[in-house]
Structure 1
Amino acid sequence: MAKSQKTPKAPLATPTDIDSNSALTVAEALNGLLADHYALYLKTKNFHWHVSGPHFRDYHLMFDDQATQILGVTDAIAERVRKTGNTTLRSIGDIARRATLKDNNADYVSPADMLAELREDNLKIVETFRAAKDLAETAKDNATSGILDDWQDQAEERAWFLFEASRNG
């Protein structure tokens, strides 16, 4: 028989001076970003695994670099949520419920379509970072506001690389 899980006697209570409602609003935005980062990570790895054609090596390596960067941000996003006294994602189902980026389960995607789809997904994440930054600034959550700038810059750089790789020279 499986051992039953015990309910904690007190909630996870991380001390913060940010108003709890404001912190929750920012945490919800961050959890949405976290879900989108996991979705984008998996899509980028999918394309890394399945890219083909004359630019195989370049795209294969770029997708792998970008996936590594995307995955690297996930822990920082989740830890920021916890630092504000909130909880973060707990499961694949939680990610699926919160993610706004669409999966790509096609048997074949052309390299040009891979570049375009990943570029658009990164630009959607940039928009979401901007909205989260507005919420963080309203909440006077300066730490979240500041770190969002770095994450947004990374997403903009990924979109730029994908755009440049897609150009016909």
Structure 2
Amino acid sequence: MAKVRALPQRKKVGSLDTPTDLKPEGVAAIAKALNTLLADTFALYIKTKNFHWHVSGPHFRDYHLLLDEQAAQIFATTDDIAERVRKIGGTTLRSIRQIASLQRVQENEAEFVPPLEMLRELMNDNKAFAANLREAHDICDKYEDVATASLIENWIDETERRTWFLFEASRDADRTGH
């Protein structure tokens, strides 16, 4: 007859205390970095949709569709970022106010922005976002969180693709004079 070993008594677990093998200081640092990225992601999404809704001119259809596609991709990332924070045992954003306090993406509330300026502004925002993703990746590497680092690598690739498309679309506008 086999003996069953008793499991050691666990400390009382809080309702949002997700088990992880990452060290508490790693969870805190990675969750902070991801929450800041999440705030940037929401801000970039809103800005992209703003430009999508307000683009005009001879390339309207192309730019309108490009910005809508990019906004959808950006928004799709929000759940992945937030769920990753929770998977490692952190807590994530809870309000618009918290997003506003963390975001690094500058808003554009101008009544009219010429299409070429829209594309270039979003291109620069995406370049900055890629750099911020790389900084978060470094934090993941420091605390040996390979799963989050792997996700970030995919987000960097998506961000670089958006940057490239915005760059090429704005170059086309330079050549045609629009």
Bin for the TM-score computed over the shorter chain: over 0.9
Larger Rg, first or second structure (1 or 2): 2
Among candidates 160, 166, 169, match of residue 162 of structure 1: 166
What RMSD in Å do the two structures reach over aligned CA positions?
Answer: 1.0
Gaps of 5+ in 1: 1-8
Q: How does 1:28-43 map to 2 (within 5 A)?
A: 28-43=32-47
Question: C-alpha deviations, 1:112-152, integer Å up to 9, x for none?
Answer: 10001100000011000100000001100010011100001
TM-score by length of 2: 0.89
Deviation at 1:12, TM superposition (A): 1.0
Total equivalences in the alignment: 161
Gaps of 5+ in 2: 1-12
Among candidates 106, 110, 133, match of residue 106 of structure 1: 110
Match of 1:26 in 2: 30
- Is 1:124 the counterpart of 2:125 in the alignment? no
Among candidates 82, 85, 106, match of residue 86 of structure 2: 82
Deviation at 1:11, TM superposition (A): 4.8
Match of 1:17 in 2: 21
Question: C-alpha deviations, 1:56-86, integer Å up to 9, x for none?
Answer: 0000000000000000000000000000100
* Letter aligned with residue 119 of structure 1: M
CA distance in 1 between counterparts of 2:15 and 2:96 reads 23
Match of 1:147 in 2: 151
CA distance in 1 between counterparts of 2:46 and 2:137 reads 25
Runs of 4 or more, structure 1, over 2 Å off, are none
Question: C-alpha deviations, 1:81-115, integer Å up to 9, x for none?
Answer: 00010000001001000001111000000001000
TM-score by length of 1: 0.93
Match of 2:4 in 1: none
Question: C-alpha deviations, 1:142-164, integer Å up to 9, x for none?
Answer: 10011100001000000000000
Indicate the percent of aligned positions where both proteins have the same amino acid.
53
